[in-house]
Structure 1
């Protein structure tokens, strides 16, 4: 019997719904979209996840359950309520000069929610894993560009290809270069002096820069200690 009440995948998923709802309620998104429908549907997802939190089903069985399938269908409803597949571009284009930074941060938070829920089934199919990092996606990526942070000399802003889309990561490792093959934890977004980072590079003493695996796939052959900081950040997110 699997203790679903302690499954990090479900706990992080529930917390991501809470973050999503708080984000929409800030009122920073302009334009025509169905806020009430998005919030109502998020509430339905939340109740479903709360219901299966104490189901004690095996992860594989849970992954194929009608409840999880229903969550995936509701996620499609939310995307349409936000404005369709190009919702992020629409919200960014509607942002005023004074609130652009906040809108970009909130777009990243919505993406975190959509990704966390959207890939929940895949993470459940990995089986019985009692590790905080299973609550988020760990993906291989390729650094497409590196630039200096406009407000911090010791930070770099990287655009990373993770398969289906690009991801922005802020790092303090000065050795990261374009073309590096990295491992990225898709963590709750964090604002670093005006720039929102959507994830964190994994590493031990510096960023891993020759990771095996195609962008968007799970990295192969990483040292386990490279996951330590991501574990800590997942735990912090759950306590926030």
Structure 2
């Protein structure tokens, strides 16, 4: 019997709802969207997750359960309530405070990615490790530039297959064309720039990672996961 109350995938998904609620209640998301419906759907997702957390279902049963299908359906409903496929672009176009809006968009994207891809993480089986609560994927650096407010930081636009994300790093050697391992983490604001993830590495960023863009990286050092693992644990604890 699998102890679902200790499953980090369910814990991160549950915690990500608070991040979503913080974003939609911020007042920075302007435009034509259905806030009431978005909040209602997120509340329903939370109730479903709470039932799964104490279900003690095996991962295979969990992944194929009606509740898991319902979570994905409600995630798609939330996207529609936000404004449909171009919801993020709409919010940016209408933004009065671009920095705050970008941060809240990143929070929503993290939440949506977490719940829409929950089944795929669950299907990885019985893994009791905080790192399994997020996606670790191969990305390709499309561009890099210095941070306008911090000489020791660099801003990278990264292709992760189905979309691009922004990552702020302190490794100034990362450049266009590098294949990196990216942890998709709860967004962090670094002096006005929101980072949607973190490059993995030990002594510097891993820059020649093997694997399909958007897929799991091949044979990365286990110690390169340590920092991301700590961030996930702190996120679950609300720190």
Same fold? TM cut 0.5: yes
Question: Equivalences for 1:1-240 in 2 at 5 Å?
Answer: 1-96=1-96, 99-240=97-238
| Distance (Å, rounded) in 1 between the aligned partners of 2:28 and 2:192 | 16
| Distance (Å, rounded) in 2 between the aligned partners of 1:23 and 1:176 | 30
> Matched residue of 1:168: which SS?
strand
What is the aligned residue count?
238
| Distance (Å, rounded) in 2 between the aligned partners of 1:51 and 1:27 | 31
**Deviation of 1:153 (Å):** 0.4
**Deviation of 1:174 (Å):** 1.2
> Matched residue of 1:130: which SS?
coil
| Distance (Å, rounded) in 1 between the aligned partners of 2:126 and 2:183 | 20
TM-score, length-scaled by structure 1: 0.98
| Distance (Å, rounded) in 1 between the aligned partners of 2:171 and 2:99 | 24
**Deviation of 1:61 (Å):** 1.1
**Deviation of 1:181 (Å):** 0.4
> Matched residue of 2:218: which SS?
coil
**Deviation of 1:193 (Å):** 0.1
> Matched residue of 1:189: which SS?
strand
| Distance (Å, rounded) in 2 between the aligned partners of 1:200 and 1:88 | 21
TM-score, length-scaled by structure 2: 0.99
| Distance (Å, rounded) in 2 between the aligned partners of 1:108 and 1:23 | 9
Structure 2: give runs of 5+ residues left out of the alignment: none
Q: Deviations over 1:113-136 (max 9, x none)?
A: 000111100000000000101000
Segments of 4+ in structure 1 off by > 6 A? none
> Matched residue of 2:175: which SS?
coil
**Deviation of 1:81 (Å):** 0.2
Q: Deviations over 1:45-100 (max 9, x none)?
A: 0000001101000112101100000000001110000000110000000002xx11
Structure 1: give runs of 5+ residues left out of the alignment: none
> Matched residue of 2:186: which SS?
coil
